[in-house]
Structure formats: structure tokens, C-alpha cells
Amino acid sequence: MGDKTIESLFARIDQLEANLDKKVEKAQSTIDSLISEIQHSNKKIQELEQENSILKIKVNRLEQKGRKNNIIVSGLKQEEGTENNLSKLQQVLEVNIEKGDLNDIYYLGGKEDKSKLLKIEFNCYWKKQEILRNCYKLKNQGIFINQDLTKEEQEVHKKLRIHLNKAKSQGRKATIRNSLLIVDSVVYTYQQLSADPEFSFSNQQQENNSTNSFLPETQEEGSSSSKRNGNSPNPSDQRKKRPKRH
């Protein structure tokens, strides 16, 4: 093979390498451009998701505000009519409800629903609270009153009730109030309970007891359960037990 042929082959190889480098550079440029577009799209998606979350929170708050003065009553017979059922509630609860107190009153559910719920919308919040304060008088009456919760609140309460039953099964004093779980005077949020699938009230109670001595006096309300659990009484309890001077 002559020198010219070898030189021609090397030249051809150089040309192929140059063309390949150009194609690689072009491909890399395209990849970089696509990556940039994807990053921009991801950023836009994150912004939209954040905006959507904020909108959901605002909508839920507006819905909560719209339901703030409402109650849902179950256990009443629809055939007796809203006026008779309202009179029955007033009689059992020993609460006076004037027409001016009501914004609206109607049954929920379709025509085929046999067990309908009665929704009462009050014009003012304090009248609703007066009703709720007297709910204990409905015991053994087969009538139940609940707050008018949004779908999001209903889901939260549904999951909180799981922890509520768990706490009660341990012999603890527990209740749900304002979408919060209160166990032995200690307040737990839904987010706190959901963050730890293995959450245990017994372990948490030990942590609360160990930190009670560091809490300011305004927060000592949650430590009332320490005496029932056999722990040392609070300083406030000790002050109450000082012997009388003779």
C-alpha cells in the first residue's frame, strides 16, 4: 500500500472523527436544551402545585367559614317535619330558638334516603355554641348533633377517631375538639399523629412527663394526668398541699 493511500485513509478517518464530533456536539446541545426545558417545566409544575395547594387551603377556609354556624342533626323522623323536630330539640336541649336565630333548616340526602340528616344553619355562632353546650342532655334520646364539617375536615376526623379509640382502649381520657385530639389534656394534631405510623400515647406521655418541669405555668394544664400515672405531682399541686399553720 502506497504512502498516498495511507495518507488518504488517515484523512478519511480525520474527516469521520470531525463529523462525529460535530454530531456529538449537536446531540449534546439538544440534550442540554431538553434538560433545560424539563427543569423549567418541573419548576413550573412545582409552582402550580404550590398555587393549587394555597387555593385549596383558601377554599377550605372559606367553606369552613360558611359552615361555622351550622349543625347536623341525626336521629329525627323526617315525617314529623322541620318545625316539629326543631321544637323537639328545643324541648330536650332546654334552649330557646327564635326564627331570627335561623338562616335555614332542611334535610340532607335524596328522596330515596330513609335516614336523612337535618341541617340547621344559624345566623350567629353563639347560638350554635349554646346548642352544643347542651348536647349532653340528648343522652339516651337517640338524637345526635355534630358540627357541619368540610370533606377535608371529615377525613381528618375519621383518622383522628382511630387514635381516639386507641387512646380510650388504654383507659385514657380522650376527645376530639376543633380537629385536634386531646388525650389526658395533651393536644395532638393530625399532622403529628400521621407523621409517625408507630405513634404510641404511652411513649409520648413519658416524654411529656419528662418535660413538664420545664414548661411555664401557663402550659401546666396538660400535666394533670401525671398524678394518675403515678408520677411526681406538679409544683402547683404541692403548693396546694402545704400544711395549715397553727
Is residue 244 domain-resident? no
Whole-angstrom Cα distance, residue 88 to residue 101?
16
**CA triple 234-240-244, angle to 5 deg:** 145
Closest Cα to residue 159, out of 119, 190, 192?
190
Does residue 131 share a domain with residue 91? yes
**Which tens digit of pLDDT belongs to each residue from 65-119?**
999 999 999 998 888 889 999 999 999 999 999 999 999 999 987 665 556 899 9
Q: Which domain holds residue 85?
A: 69-148
* Domain total of the chain: 3
Is residue 239 domain-resident? no
Rounded mean pLDDT, 185-199: 83
The pTM of the full predicted model, rounded to 2 decimals, is 0.59
Q: What is the pLDDT of residue 229?
A: 38
Does residue 76 share a domain with residue 62? no
Rounded mean pLDDT, 216-232: 36
